[in-house]
Amino acid sequence: MFESISDRLKAALSVFSKRGRLTEQNIRDGMREIRKALLEADVQFDVVRAFIQEVTDKAVGEEVLQTVQPAQMIVKIVHDELTRLMGPASEGLAFAPTGPTVIMMVGLQGSGKTTTAGKLAGYVRRKGRAPLLVAADVQRPAAIDQLETLGRELDIPVYAERSGRPARICQRAVAEAEKTGRNVVILDTAGRLHIDEALMAELGDIRARITPQEILLVADAMTGQDAVVSAREFNERLDLSGVILTKMDGDARGGAALSIKRVTGKPIKFMGVGERLDRLEEFHPDRVAGRILGMGDIVTLVEKAQESQDQEEARAKAEKLLAGSFTLDDFLDQMQAMKRMGPLKDLMAMIPGMKELTQGEELDPAEFTRMEAIIRSMTPEERLRPDIIDHSRRRRIGRGSGNDARAVRDLVNQFGQARKLMKQLKSSGGLVGRMVAGKHEKRKLKQLKRARRMGIDPLRGRGFPFNP
Ligand SMILES: Nc1nc2c(ncn2[C@@H]2O[C@H](COP(=O)(O)OP(=O)(O)OP(=O)(O)O)[C@@H](O)[C@H]2O)c(=O)[nH]1
Ligand SMILES: [Mg+2]
């Protein structure tokens, strides 16, 4: 995500750190590079101009030039301006004070409405609500089938009628939700290749009859400026409440994410980061700015870890872990929890500095599978006390898992190092403890978020983390 813009911006910013003292002239030179990076990422021209103006004004100010580390200050200014550009922070979904909340998904054909309707239904259910999915696209019978398949996969009910006026169907769906106690109704509407009168009239009709709490435009981030143009048009006709950008996992250049808020005035509320139904993330401008500048996104990582583990279980594990009684079974559990959190590559990108550490190389998921097989070939006692694993045991475990004895030894050594690391982290109150933390760690997470907002990264125990 954001790879090309991220690399270019970092390159542009490194211009600053190569100079000891900054002058107004080097700032202007650096800004030219940043401007190029943004334009190449397909950010709208006017947005780029305003952005560069703001950053230059702030950076040229006396205060920055006089600070000890002017280069770091400029990174901070760019970070803050990126955050402002995509913000203010979205307030999440608006829910109706009484009766079912209606969320209407609109967008061009193939932008991801149906998939995102499913993802969003899963999301609100994780937040403790009872969703109902509604097929409001009667043009194509296949569209109804697709939603019904999604509903079965998620185990979430779907309301569909094979013919009739979409607005009427939606009204009956809301009545059905009231009757059956579903409190969030998600309308999956029809898409068109281009915005046309018939589609807008149909959507306007639904809007007028139901008055949804949310009208969310689903826009494909890969289409760059076209996504921005369609957002403007949909907004003019329907007065959107927000935008969901999909396919952010692809090689989208970032232009849509950076321009939509400024152009439409409507916040990006979520982003789709993969085809799987759990690949939806809340859109937090400050975190996204951090990712673009290669500073990682620890807060999202911690939240993902919390979501993918049972809270009580996680708390017990965290305690065990920090007490130093971490076993190979726990190691296995952690690997599985990580797998549930999503592709390894995405997770790595959220850890500050990790990309530099691994030099952009991807970790091999096959390696994970191999490690799992080895641990599974061990007896319960061996998993608990790996020090009893001698050469003959190594050979047996190796054979059982389709590996050689050396692979077993490597894994046991690696585990030993992980255990040592855990102990060190315990004394520094470190990251892994937070990652597996349970309920009572929520407070710490809040403090962490607050600190990040103020530009401090407490995990590193010093000031602004990025050192260009
Ligand atoms: N990689 C990736 N693919 C996505 C994402 N969201 C949706 N897709 C894919 O995009 C394609 C179209 O998605 P749909 O949900 O059918 O799109 P739609 O807007 O409902 O399409 P119409 O109903 O034809 O207008 C599917 O192949 C989805 O799997 C995402 O965040 N990442
Ligand atoms: Mg669809």
Ligand 2 (ion): residues with CB under 5 Å are: 113-114
Domains defined along the chain, listed by start: 3-86 (1.20.120.140), 101-294 (3.40.50.300), 300-453 (1.10.260.30)
Q: Are 115 and 224 in contact (CB under 8 A)?
A: no
> What does the DSSP 8-state code read for residue 224?
T
Return the minimum-mean-pLDDT range out of 11-20, 223-232, 237-246, 275-284.
11-20
Cβ-based neighbours of 379, under 8 Å, separated by 6 or more: none
DSSP structural state of residue 368: H
pLDDT category at 439 given cuts 50, 70, 90 is: very low
Beta strands in 90-230 (DSSP E): 101-106, 131-136, 158-159, 184-189, 214-220
Query: Tell me, what's the pLDDT at 119?
Result: 97
* Averaged pLDDT for residues 128-149: 92
**What gap in Å lies between CA 30 and CA 15, rounded to an integer?**
6
**Span from the CA of 133 to the centroid of ligand 1 (angstroms):** 16
Q: Which ligand has the nearest atom to the CA of 272?
A: 1
pLDDT tens, 260-298? 998 899 999 999 999 999 999 999 998 888 888 876 665
What average pLDDT does this structure show over 112-121? 97
Per-residue pLDDT band for 219 (boundaries 50, 70, 90) equals very high
> Using one digit for the tens of pLDDT, what is the confidence trace for 363-393?
566 777 888 899 999 998 898 888 899 999 9
Which residues have any ligand 1 atom within 6 Å of their CB? 107, 109-115, 137, 143, 191, 246-247, 249-250, 272-275, 279
Q: How much distance in Å is there from the Cα of 110 to the middle of ligand 1?
A: 5
Six-digit token string for 53: 């103006």
- The protein residue whose alpha carbon is closest to atom 29 in ligand 1 is 275
Name the residue with the closest Cα to ligand 1, atom 26: 112
Among residues 416, 449, 256, 229, the alpha carbon closest in space to that of 327 is found at: 416
- What is the rounded average pLDDT for all residues in the chain? 80
pLDDT tens digits along 1-58 = 777 788 888 888 877 776 666 778 878 888 888 899 888 888 888 899 999 999 888 8
Q: Which of 63-67, 149-153, 221-225, 281-285 has the highest mean pLDDT?
A: 149-153
| Shortest-distance Cα residue to atom 14 of ligand 1 | 112
